[in-house]
């Protein structure tokens, strides 16, 4: 049943908490390191020292503006309805697109490990592949491992491989998508909260079915099975491959193995974007304070509170919100919109602390501007 699929108990509850928090922390620090890399590249490419803008990164990074934040829940709703009404028609295309994106995202997740492994035995020179581009040995190794994992997932459909691909998608989205200000963060998360609550609690009154739960739990036909039927390869070719549960969620079995817990990657990525924003702001503020010789904060704020970072405050709020969603799921024995609990427990403490520290106006609308200074790469 859907309620059993969403219940979080025993080891699955602990696994969900730990994995989601680790993904957010890892994705946020990867994003910050990408800022450092872009800053160093700008130093190398320009002889004149310029100011560092946290939003001016390379073309692969997407910054969400206010208009996109307002329309993203609407676009997500349209996509959800398309999957609800026309899933049988688009499931193969959707599965292939998801597999391609998961391959690239998991390669990005494995890249630091591959760089560490290949550093002693090979130079970091890039190998040319013609029109495909130039790649290092570490990039080729991470991509090869990612392709291998996706192929094994297609053949077996194992939940652990699906979780690995979902983890790659989470880290890549947190690292490559940016929220430029607290205003955009509030618009995006508030809109997604309404979106999540409506499709979980009220969609059944209109469509006679819980749209969110049905789309999230509906397996898709295996592309190998579809290909064998189209090509008439025989009754035994491709028929033993399982249907695929797409990597749009994390699933963990309970200790008894009787049911799975489930957490959508949107419940990790969207709060993760907020944590990525506050981590970048903490770094910006630290650089600004060092440039101004450690100027103290407002006089009515204790020194202990000044030492508490926005990132730690928001991360604790995320954990408490996820714990509250778990308790609500067990009490009501039904699917719960996790953002209903995650958004207030992350945004409200952040807004309160920003107001008390006197940073609310700056975080609300001012972009990041920090003087060029020597940067250190963070060990993730």
Catalytic machinery residues: 196, 267
Beta bridge partners of 251: 262
Report how far residue 222's alpha carbon sits from residue 250's, in angstroms, rounded to the nearest whole number. 19
* Rounded Cα gap, residues 311 and 275, in angstroms: 6
The tokens describing 95, both together, are 């599965």
User: Shortest CA distance to 194 belongs to which of 73, 84, 318?
Assistant: 73
Task: Give the integer Cα–Cα distance in Å for 258 and 260.
Answer: 7
**Helix or strand run (H / E) with residue 225:** helix 223-231
Instruction: Tell me how far apart the alpha carbons of residues 145 and 118 are, in angstroms, rounded to a whole number.
Output: 14
User: Which residues neighbour 361 within 8 Å (Cβ) at sequence distance 6 or greater?
Assistant: none
Nearest CA to 109 out of 189, 19, 38 is that of 19
CB-CB contact of 85 with 63 (8 Å): no
């Amino acid at each position: 049943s859907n309620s059993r699929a969403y219940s979080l108990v025993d080891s699955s509850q602990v696994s969900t908490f730990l994995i989601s928090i680790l993904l957010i922390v890892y994705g946020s620090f990867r994003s910050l390191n990408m800022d450092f890399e872009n800053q160093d590249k700008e130093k190398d490419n320009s002889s004149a020292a310029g100011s560092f803008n946290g939003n001016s990164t390379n073309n692969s990074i997407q910054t969400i503006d206010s208009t996109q934040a307002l329309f993203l829940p609407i676009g997500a709703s349209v996509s959800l309805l398309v999957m609800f009404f026309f899933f049988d028609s688009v499931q193969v295309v959707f599965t292939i697109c998801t597999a391609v994106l998961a391959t690239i995202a998991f390669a990005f997740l494995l890249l630091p490990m591959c760089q560490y492994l290949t550093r002693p035995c090979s130079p970091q020179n890039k190998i040319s592949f013609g029109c495909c581009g130039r790649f290092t040995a570490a990039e080729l190794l991470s991509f090869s491992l990612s392709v291998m994992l996706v192929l094994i997932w297609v053949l077996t459909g194992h939940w652990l491989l699906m979780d690995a691909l979902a983890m790659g998608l989470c880290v890549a989205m947190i690292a490559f998508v940016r929220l430029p200000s607290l205003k955009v963060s509030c618009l995006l998360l508030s809109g997604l909260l309404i979106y999540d609550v409506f499709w979980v609690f009220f969609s059944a009154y209109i469509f006679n079915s819980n749209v969110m739960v049905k789309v999230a739990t509906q397996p898709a036909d295996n592309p190998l099975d579809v290909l064998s039927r189209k090509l008439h390869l025989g009754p035994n070719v491709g028929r033993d491959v399982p249907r695929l549960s797409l990597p749009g969620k994390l699933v963990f079995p309970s200790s008894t193995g009787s049911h799975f817990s489930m957490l959508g990657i949107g419940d990790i990525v969207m709060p993760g974007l907020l944590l990525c924003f506050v981590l970048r702001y903490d770094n910006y503020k630290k650089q600004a304070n060092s440039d101004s010789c450690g100027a103290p904060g407002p006089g009515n704020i204790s020194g202990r509170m000044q030492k508490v970072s926005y990132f730690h405050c928001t991360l604790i709020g995320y954990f408490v919100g996820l714990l509250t969603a778990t308790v609500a799921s067990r009490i009501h024995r039904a699917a719960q919109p996790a953002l209903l609990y995650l958004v207030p427990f992350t945004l409200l403490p952040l807004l309160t602390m920003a107001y008390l520290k006197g940073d609310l106006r700056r975080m609300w609308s001012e972009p990041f501007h920090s003087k060029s200074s020597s940067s250190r790469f963070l060990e993730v």
